[in-house]
Amino acid sequence: MKIGAVILRGGRSSRMGSDKAGLRLGGRTFLELIKGELSDFDELLISVAEGEGDAGTVSDIYKKCGPMGGIYSALRAAKSDALLVVPCDLPLFGRSLARELAANMDEDTDALICVTDDKIHPICGIYSKSCLETMKYCLESGQLRMRLLLERLRTRQLYVSDMAYMLKNINTPEDFKALYTGDMGCKLLPSKRNLVLLMTGRRPPYIIKRFAEKAPLERELSVLNRLSAAGLPVSAARRTDENTLELEYLPGITALEYFEKREAEGAFFGEKDKDVCNLLVNWLSDFYSAAGEGICLNDMNLRNFIYQPEKGRFVGVDFECCGEGIRSRDAGALLAYILSYHPGFTSYKLAMAEYLRSLLADMLGILEEEIKKECSAELESIRLRRGAGNRRGGCG
């Protein structure tokens, strides 16, 4: 049985107030995220209510008939024997669930539907072309409820409670906000490149990191293994499929959160802050020793360091950009980040950058002038990214 896939985006998004398919997570739209997870399928269709689009777009034959109309039209247009159906409001849908469904579909089944502990998901599953005649009858008689359709078909249920987070519908602004607060059992963490989730619905909590591309995942996993073998504290990691890592959750606060809080409290950059900076640079020194000659982080920001005060240490996270580089460039980029994050170039940040510049030069064996040069270059790059009107200060 040849199985293709279809993404349903024909809904009006009335509860969201804007096109759900165009909402963004981890730097990509919902539609782009789901497309990426369906890349295993040779045939991928996009179901729309009406109008012409790119190749692979299918308009509804029966208008205003909800998801059943979209599934029917896609099955009619498909070259495949069956279609995996995914609505565009499931941005966390993953290829591991797609593969599980495809592996369990057979020719004696009309519809294979996802079921979790508390819910049946009739719009996420595989529908065979053998459904077409029954679907047509339901559409023409106005019986548009998917559960009524399933009662007329040879329907099987696939229990996927361990992947329930992939079936979280994002239908309203409140649903979208809940992704950032953790109210849905998972919390979206900041990332410009990837989908990163803190899974809070189970104990202990853990991190799921879904990469846009395969190579950065392999790079990160390789670095994590190397650092772990060298005795550095890092997240335990396992690969769950080609583009996803499951990572141990490390309790603590990011370096950004720590220093932001200190500055917000009106603190001067003093001995307490210097001690924390020493811990940060100690971790960097250990990283460079373990990673090997010429290997650098190449992505320096304070969100990538977890401060664990009860253990008196920092732990680094996010190693997908690791590779050949120049340590002075890493150091300069870190200082540029510190100086420029909002509000930029405060007296606290200037004092912190000055202290760190001297400390980095001493502990990493780098000339301060090289760090200043790289910092200035990175500040200029940041200025250009943010707009020419943002020229502020320098690296001293």
Cα–Cα distance list, 63 to 142, 216, 250, 260 (Å): 12, 43, 50, 53
pLDDT band at 203 (very low <50, low <70, confident <90, very high): confident
Q: How far apart are the C-alpha atoms of 71 and 132, rounded to whole Å?
A: 9
Mean pLDDT, rounded, of the chain: 92
Examine the pLDDT at 232 and tell me if it is beyond 80.
yes
pTM, to two decimals:
0.85
Could you read off the pLDDT of 359-381 as tens digits, one per residue? 999 999 999 999 999 999 999 99
Q: Is the pLDDT higher at 267 or at 335? A: 335
Q: Is the pLDDT higher at 215 or at 51? A: 215
Query: What's the CATH fold of domain 3-167?
Result: Spore Coat Polysaccharide Biosynthesis Protein SpsA; Chain A (3.90.550)
**pLDDT at residue 49, as a whole number:** 83
Could you read off the pLDDT of 299-309 as tens digits, one per residue? 999 999 999 99
Q: How far apart are the C-alpha atoms of 202 and 241, rounded to whole Å?
A: 21
Domain ranges of the chain: 3-167, 173-248, 253-390
Examine the pLDDT at 389 and tell me if it is beyond 60.
no
**pLDDT at residue 311, as a whole number:** 96
With contact defined as beta carbons under 8 Å apart, do 301 and 276 qualify? no
**pLDDT at residue 55, as a whole number:** 66
**pLDDT at residue 386, as a whole number:** 80
DSSP state of 116: E
Cα–Cα distance list, 246 to 140, 146, 208, 226, 255 (Å): 46, 34, 5, 17, 23
Question: Which runs of E-coded beta strand occur in 76-215?
Answer: 82-87, 111-116, 119-128, 155-159, 186-188, 195-199, 206-210
**pLDDT at residue 78, as a whole number:** 96
Examine the pLDDT at 54 and tell me if it is beyond 70.
no
Neighbours of 342 (CB within 10 A): 6
**pLDDT at residue 53, as a whole number:** 56
Q: How many residues does the chain have?
A: 396
Equal fold, 3-167 vs 173-248: no
CATH of segment(s) 173-248 = 3.30.200.20
Cα–Cα distance list, 138 to 48, 132, 153, 311, 315 (Å): 20, 10, 12, 63, 58
Element (H, E) at 330: helix 327-340
CATH of segment(s) 253-390 = 1.10.510
Could you read off the pLDDT of 138-195 as tens digits, one per residue? 999 999 999 999 999 999 999 998 899 999 999 899 999 999 888 888 999 988 889 9
